[in-house]
């Protein structure tokens, strides 16, 4: 059964969205790892539909706030959910 043009476009859109989410996750993680003020290894990053979810424990509220701000700066990020990102003090 041949694929219609609409089905092909939908498939391409779905693939691009997955790539976008993967790219965003990688980019946010690399920003964290390259910033000496953010413990990038302590923060888990997941992206769904352009919304980045951060979780883990960082030493300070300032580091938490910086991680959120830096994640928001990444191209393609529609929002940041950081309820799971806690400061230990």
CA separation for the pair 42, 79 (Å, rounded): 20
- At residue 79, the 3 state secondary structure works out as strand
Say yes or no to pLDDT of 74 above 80: yes
- pLDDT, residue 4, reads 76
CA separation for the pair 89, 77 (Å, rounded): 28
**pTM check: above 0.85:** no
- Which CATH topology does 5-87 take? 3.30.1340
- pLDDT, residue 2, reads 73
Q: Pairing state of beta strands 51-58 and 79-87?
A: parallel
**All structural domains of the chain with their residue ranges:** 5-87
């Amino acid at each position: 059964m041949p694929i219609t043009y609409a089905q092909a476009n939908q498939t391409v859109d779905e693939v691009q969205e997955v790539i976008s989410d993967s790219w965003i996750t990688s980019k946010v993680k690399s920003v964290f790892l390259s910033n000496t003020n953010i413990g990038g290894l302590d923060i888990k990053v997941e992206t769904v539909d352009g919304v980045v979810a951060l979780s883990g424990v960082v030493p300070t509220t300032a580091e938490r706030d910086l991680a959120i701000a830096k994640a928001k700066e990444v191209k393609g990020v529609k929002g940041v959910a950081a309820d799971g990102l806690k400061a230990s003090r």
